[in-house]
Amino acid sequence: MKVKFKRLIDTAKAPQRGSEYAAGWDLTATSFSHERGIVTYGTSISIEIPKGYFGILAARSSVYTTDLMLANGIGVIDSDYRGELIFKFRLLNKGPHPKVYSIGDRIGQLIILSHTAPEWVEDNLTKSKRGIFGFGSTGK
């Protein structure tokens, strides 16, 4: 599969994998802003994901070394989105010296997955052993 991308500024870095088998493609910060406890990083990259696929913007494992938490858990990038890939983090430590990423750091990752659009049919559901039980009902 080929995914087109565009650098919105000359210094933007192309998505890169940390290892040959990494599922996620690391994205690098090119801009930073902070307002009311939300830290926003731009990547200056826009992409064209093929039809039948979508992207997930997820935190990198290195986020544990910072005082940041991805504000929306994950971001979904639909195949028709052409804007800049942006990460928004909630600042956990609002003290004078919070640990955050710097411009030039890898701040998150893009994972591309396939999907099919279901045909929704309103009907009675078949019974199952689990039924309506959730939230830990399959093991304690």
Give the pairing of strands 75-77 and 53-58: antiparallel
Give the tens place of pLDDT for each residue, 66-123. 999 999 999 999 999 999 999 999 999 888 889 999 999 999 999 999 999 999 999 9
Contact assessment for residue 114 and residue 53, using Cβ atoms and an 8 Å cutoff = yes
Give the pLDDT score at 135.
Answer: 82
Q: For the chain, which residues make up each domain, given as ranges?
A: 4-114
Give the confidence band of 9 by pLDDT, cuts at 50, 70, 90: very high
pTM of the model: 0.87
pLDDT band at 140 (very low <50, low <70, confident <90, very high): low
According to the model, what pLDDT value does residue 56 have?
Answer: 98
* Per-residue pLDDT at 35: 92
Average pLDDT, whole number, for the chain?
94
Classify the C-alpha dihedral 79-17-101-58 as positive or negative: positive
Give the CATH number of domain 4-114. 2.70.40.10
DSSP structure string for 44-99: EEEEEPPTTEEEEEE--GGGGGTTEEETTSSEEE-TT--SEEEEEEEES--SSS--
131, pLDDT greater than 70: yes
**Structure-block tokens of residue 57:** 């913007």
d(CA 33, CA 86) in angstroms, rounded, equals 11
